[in-house]
Amino acid sequence: MVLIVPYDSPFAAAEPPPPPAVVLLIHTDLDLPTESADLLIHEDLGLAPTAKKAVQFAHKYPPPPIFDKLIPSPGRLSRLNLDNTPEWKQDHTPKDTALIKAVIHRLVDKLLDTTKAISFQDKELVEQVYREGAAVYPILCQYENNWATYCIVHAHLKYTSTEAIKKAADDRLEKLEEAVAAVGSGPGPRTRAARTAQTVAN
């Protein structure tokens, strides 16, 4: 986002005006200029040291809303299908649910190890997923102890970790098939057996 500040001077007609001042609102996914521009930067974003020196204005995301009454967890979350939970369905359409899940899934893919289930994740990173998800959809704060977000994270990691296990098994099977093929086309029995053992071990 670029704001152009107009130059207004009674001497503008007599002499060329200076170039307009430019204020940039930037995020970390953009290349940061090291000089010549004033930067309006989110305070909670990680910035390079050269960019921090240029900060003149700071902005913080507003704190999450405080609800009068939190919605308690309906039961064992590991077996819960959020889409069919009355406590969730009463406030969210299927379209709403899909949009919220898409945001949480992107955060999980970015911050967590998708080859592991939620019980093996870094707890601080899981909490970061909760916070960043609530920053986009504050209504998630209404669910006590983030149980709704937990369900989304748990289900996504269960899928991705299962797929990772399947891929690892397929890779091992492919190596074994290659070893068997090498036995059938290689030299004498001792050499073939040695190569087979080495290939499987790798």
Contact 43, 56 (CB under 8 A): no
Q: Rounded mean pLDDT of the chain? A: 75
pLDDT tens for each residue of 81-126? 899 899 999 999 999 999 999 999 999 999 999 999 999 999 999 9
The rounded percent of the chain whose pLDDT value lies above 70 is 59
Q: How far is CA 162 from each of CA 126, 156, 157, rounded to the nearest angstrom? A: 19, 10, 8
pLDDT tens for each residue of 37-57? 444 444 454 544 444 444 444
- Specify the pLDDT at position 79: 80
Tell me the C-alpha distance between 138 and 91, whole Å: 13
Burial 12-35 (b: 16+ CB within 10 A, else e): eeeeeeeeeeeebebeeeeebeee
Model-level pTM? 0.58
Tell me the C-alpha distance between 172 and 168, whole Å: 6
User: What number of residues does the chain have?
Assistant: 202
Beta-carbon count within 10 A of 85 CB: 19
Q: Where are the beta strands (DSSP E) in the chain?
A: 2-5, 21-26, 38-42, 55-59
Tell me the C-alpha distance between 148 and 177, whole Å: 44
